[in-house]
Amino acid sequence: MIELRELEVRYGKRRVLHGINLTLKRGESLSIVGESGGGKTTLGLSIIGLVEGTVRGEILFDGKNLVALAEKELKEIRWNRIAMVFQNVENALNPLYTVLDQVSEPIVAHKLGDRNEAKRRAGELLSMVNLPEGRFYAYPHQLSGGEKQRVLIAMALANDPDLIILDEPTTALDALTKVEIINLILTVCKERELTILLLTHDFYAASTLSDRMAVLYAGRIVEFGPTPALLSNPRHPYTRGLLRCYPSMTTTKDLQGIKGRMEFFDDGCPFHPRCTQSIEKCREGAPRLEEYDGRLIACHRGGIIPLLELRDLSKSFDSLKAVDSIDMTLYEGETLALVGESGSGKTTTAKLIMGIFEATEGRIYLERKQILGRDKSFYQRVQMIFQNPMEALCHLFSVREAVREPLDIQKQGNREQRESKVQHILEEVELPSSETFMNKYPHQLSQGEAQRVSIARALVLNPKLLIADEPTSALDASTQAKVVKLLLNLQEKRGIGMFFITHNLALARKISDRLAVMLRGTIVEEGPSSEIISNPLHPYTKDLLKAAPTLNSNVPIVPKTTSKKNEGLGCPYANRCDKAIEVCFNEKPQLRIFDSHRVACMNL
């Protein structure tokens, strides 16, 4: 029905839209999401030919190129074929005319009926959008925000268009009104078989109103694909950043922002100054929208890169399989929480990654390259922080020496440069960089300070991957909160991938993007944190969730270990699981995919 080809819009020298290619078939719905100022409204306006800048490229509407069309012909298409529900800002409706007048106006103007006929039809439309009849003759200022939005929708439907462009139809509405409006749009569009182009920054509206979604950043489409897939598994760093900023009832991780501000670039990827995984190439040329795993992404790195991949990793100590062929992926800038009881093999996994233990079997990839040996450059990229900071820091080293040591080992810079790096990193972890503080020894520090010093020590080399083994479990609650916030802020700024080991599911929920539950050396369930928390599938995960701290006084009932012996042949949870059947004791369940989880359970 409508096809945009290499659409480009300039306001003077500023290029607001850049090489936009989109196709929308009759009856389809497409949402364009992105921050305000990204060019969404310009895109909408260019389709109805009302953009003030210069337009290049083609907008094919039923085969006609709207860009080249004369004003007179455009006028015929406007509202008759393509209508727009404008953003409900102050004065989107003319303040001097009643709403009935304004809804009937396009009917009269396009000679689809005389004044009375138009009024009658406008009245029907207003009734259809549930505006009370007493309000038909009201002026816009006498209506509430929701009522004005209804009028704008009714107005757009006046001439029975084929394509409807919705510009932020739900912004500034309260929750219940928003749902009403969304339902209204859904019913109306289905009844009339309308094609929808939705421009919004509201993911909720986009998720309910569109089948496909395009993410627009600084005038370029950076990601494009089916709406549910994009929302559950964003592949472009900007899409992920946007989703992290969006508070919803399904996200569990703390809100994180996107560093920096939006700027328009003619060269290079528009997102590169804000992107935490940008490389030299990103600065030079703008990436084209290309297909990666059934998704269109405009990124030189092919979307968010997998930072750490564990493939069939195993470690045996004699007959004990401490880690039993585990398989996990940690993406750039994300947190993968590894949750499980003590002795489940979490720390062993960390040590395998760090090279403290040699893996019996399996492969580890860092930034898509297999780790074969670990030299100094490996430890520039990967660092670790430990559970007990007092023990992790050498008693003989002052704060300065402890933080500077990695730099000394890596022989980075001269003395002054190292010194200034140390000061800088101390400030970044919110510690004083004064001479007195830097001369302190570990025993003079509090627990929280000591853990920050060890974080500073780990980060001074600017690593990409941080392995954190219970980094807060030795700290009291207030210190823990501060350390966790610090880590999340550093992640937002530097795009650090965190491999976070903890037994505290409540904590893991707040800081992780993905969660893996480990039991007796195997992963029993893995998936996006929000999914695992809201819909746990494995009985062990369910029990862990039951046992996770809440503030009501109920003590949950957790299963006791049965007398039945678990030989280690079957499911690691078999002897505690109340749903265990015969097969659970004899056969080891494999990880299987359920929606977005992977679960290893016989009973599913």
Partner 1 sequence: MKIPEIGTYAISFLIILALIFLLPRLMPGDPLTAICGEEVLVVMTPELKAELMHRFALDAPLWKQFFVYLTAMMHGDFGYSYYYNAPVLEVIFEALPWTLLLVGSSLVLSTVLSIIIGIESGWRRGKITDKFLLTTTMILNGFPNFFIGIILLLLFAVYLGCLPLQGAKTPYSGLSGINSMLDIAQHLVLPLIALTLAQIPGSYLLMRNTMITTLKEPFVRTAKAKGLSEVAVRYKHAGRNAMLPIVTTTGVRVGTVVTGALFIEIIFSYPGVGLLSYNALLMRDYPILQGVFFIVAVFVILANFVVDLLYTKIDPRIGVNNAEYAH
Q: Please, which residue, 171 or 360, has the CB nearer to partner 1? A: 171
- Is residue 224 within 8 Å of 215, Cβ to Cβ? yes
Q: In what order do the strands lie in the sheet with 64-65?
A: 14-24, 2-11, 54-61, 64-65
Cβ-based neighbour number of residue 482 at 10 Å: 16
Helix (H, G, I), strand (E, B) or coil at 33: strand
Q: Please, which residue, 77 or 456, has the CB nearer to partner 1? A: 77
In the complex, the smallest distance separating the C-beta of residue 195 from partner 1, rounded to whole angstroms, is 17
In the complex, the smallest distance separating the C-beta of residue 163 from partner 1, rounded to whole angstroms, is 13
394 φ/ψ angles, rounded to the nearest 5 degrees = -75, 130
Q: Please, which residue, 139 or 594, has the CB nearer to partner 1? A: 139
**Torsion sign across C-alpha atoms 143, 148, 154, 159:** positive
Which residues are CB-contacts of 355 (< 8 A; sequence separation ≥ 6)? 371, 374, 378
In the complex, the smallest distance separating the C-beta of residue 150 from partner 1, rounded to whole angstroms, is 15
In the complex, the smallest distance separating the C-beta of residue 121 from partner 1, rounded to whole angstroms, is 14
Residue 92 and residue 208: Cα distance in Å, rounded? Answer: 24
What is residue 76's DSSP assignment? H
Q: Please, which residue, 64 or 546, has the CB nearer to partner 1? A: 64
Q: Please, which residue, 41 or 276, has the CB nearer to partner 1? A: 41
In the complex, the smallest distance separating the C-beta of residue 82 from partner 1, rounded to whole angstroms, is 9
- Is residue 9 within 8 Å of 62, Cβ to Cβ? no
Q: Please, which residue, 84 or 100, has the CB nearer to partner 1? A: 84
Tokens of 317: 């100590």
In the complex, the smallest distance separating the C-beta of residue 110 from partner 1, rounded to whole angstroms, is 6
Q: Please, which residue, 20 or 84, has the CB nearer to partner 1? A: 84
User: DSSP 3-state helix, strand, coil percentages of the chain (rounded to 5)?
Assistant: 35, 25, 40
In the complex, the smallest distance separating the C-beta of residue 45 from partner 1, rounded to whole angstroms, is 8
Q: Please, which residue, 42 or 348, has the CB nearer to partner 1? A: 42
What is residue 264's DSSP assignment? -
Which residues are CB-contacts of 457 (< 8 A; sequence separation ≥ 6)? 393, 402, 403, 405, 406
In the complex, the smallest distance separating the C-beta of residue 604 from partner 1, rounded to whole angstroms, is 52
Q: Please, which residue, 94 or 250, has the CB nearer to partner 1? A: 94
Residue ranges that bind partner 1, judged by CB under 8 A:
45, 48, 50, 74-80, 83-84, 86-87, 89-96, 105-106, 109-110, 135, 138-139, 141-144, 155
**Among candidates 201, 193, 196, which has minimal Cα distance to 165?**
196
Cβ-based neighbour number of residue 569 at 10 Å: 10
In the complex, the smallest distance separating the C-beta of residue 83 from partner 1, rounded to whole angstroms, is 8
- Is residue 327 within 8 Å of 591, Cβ to Cβ? yes
Residue 334 and residue 251: Cα distance in Å, rounded? Answer: 14
Q: Please, which residue, 98 or 251, has the CB nearer to partner 1? A: 98
In the complex, the smallest distance separating the C-beta of residue 170 from partner 1, rounded to whole angstroms, is 17
The number of helix segments (H) and strand segments (E) in the chain equals 22, 24
85 φ/ψ angles, rounded to the nearest 5 degrees = -95, 105
Angle at 419 between CA 418 and CA 425, to 5 degrees: 85
